[in-house]
Structure 1
C-alpha cells in the first residue's frame, strides 16, 4: 500500500469515527481533518468534500462484506447450504459492525441520498451469488429464494439485539429452500390404468 493509500485509509478511519459521534449531517471537514491529524487544506488532497469521504467509507465497508460473501460462495469444500449461509453471514456481519451508533444505519439504507446506489449495487451482487447457489442446487425459483434470504437478513437489520437468532433462522430458511422440489403425484398414465384393469 502506498503512503497516499495509507493516508486515505486513515482519512476513512477518521470519517468512520466522526460518523459514530456526529452522523453524516453534523460532521464537518474540520472534524475529519482534526481526527486524521491533517490540516483542512491537506485533507482536500485526499477527498474533495465530506460527501466523498462518506461515500468512500460506505464503499469500503460494503466491499469488505462483498469480499467475504464472494469467498463464501467460492468455497469448494462446502455444501450449498454452508455457502449460502456464508453469504448471509457476510451481509449480517456488516450490519453488526455498524450498530455502534444510531448514525450508521444510513450506510445500509438504499434510499439514502449519499449511499443508496452503493447499497443497491451491493445487494444486487449478493442476490446474484445466492441465485447461482440455488440454481446449482436445482431449487425452485432460485431468484425468489435469494430474495427470501435477503429479506430475512434485512428483518434482522432492524432488530440487531436479536442477532443470536439470525443464524438458526437463516439455516432453517436456506435448508427449506434447498430441498428438492416435491412434485405432486401425477395422474396415472393410461397404459398404467390398462395394466391395472381387471
Structure 2
C-alpha cells in the first residue's frame, strides 16, 4: 500500500468530513475530492468508516508525538507540563475550528473514535504521570492523581472561548500547586505559543 496515496485518501476524507460530517460523507465524496474513481480509494481503505478511523488515529498520533516531545524536552517541568497539555488542547481546538463536524474525531462517546480517544487520553495520562513521578509532587497528591487533575483541567478548557490564552496561566497554577514550585511572573510564562 502506498503510504503517500493513503495520506491523500485521509486528507480527502478530512476535507469531506469538514463539509458533510461522518454520516453524510460517502466514498464517492472522498473519491471526488481526490480526483480518482471510488474503486481507486478502495485500494487504500475498506470504506469510509475505515478512512475516518485511520484519520482519527493519525491526528491523535501526531498530537501524542508532540506531547511526548514536550514531556521529554530539556526544559523546566512547568514548561514540559504546558507542552503536554497544549498538545491535547491544540488537537481539540484545531478540529473544532476547522468544522463542527471535525470535532467528532475527538468524541470518546462515538462508536468509530471512542477507542482511539480513550487510548489517547490513557497515553497522555501515562506521560503526565511519568513527568510528575520524575519531578515529584506536593505531599498528598501522587503522580497519577496529578495527571488526572491536569487532564480534567485541559478538558474543561476545551470549551472556553479563550482557551489558548488561559492555558499558560492555568498550567502555571497547576505547576505551583502540584509541583510546589513558585509561579513564574506573568511576562515569562511559557515562551512557546500554541
- Number of aligned residue pairs: give it: 177
Runs of 5+ unmatched residues, structure 2? 182-194
Runs of 5+ unmatched residues, structure 1? 181-198
Does 2:38 match 1:40?
yes
For structure 1, which segment, 118-127 or 169-178, has the greater mean C-alpha deviation from structure 2 after superposition?
169-178
Question: In the alignment, which residue of structure 1 is the partner of 2:81?
Answer: 84
Distance in 1 between residues matched to 2:70 and 2:85, nearest whole Å: 9
Does 2:28 match 1:27?
no
Question: Runs ≥4 in structure 1, deviation > 3 angstroms?
Answer: none
Q: Deviations over 1:41-63 (max 9, x none)?
A: 11100001000000000000000
Equivalent residue runs for 1:22-171 within 5 Å: 22-75=20-73, 77-99=74-96, 100-139=98-137, 140-171=141-172
Q: Cα offset for 1:158?
A: 2.1
TM-score, normalization: structure 1?
0.85
CA contact 2:92–2:158 (8 Å) conserved in 1: yes
Question: In the alignment, which residue of structure 2 is the partner of 1:175?
Answer: 176
Q: RMSD value over aligned CA atoms? A: 1.4
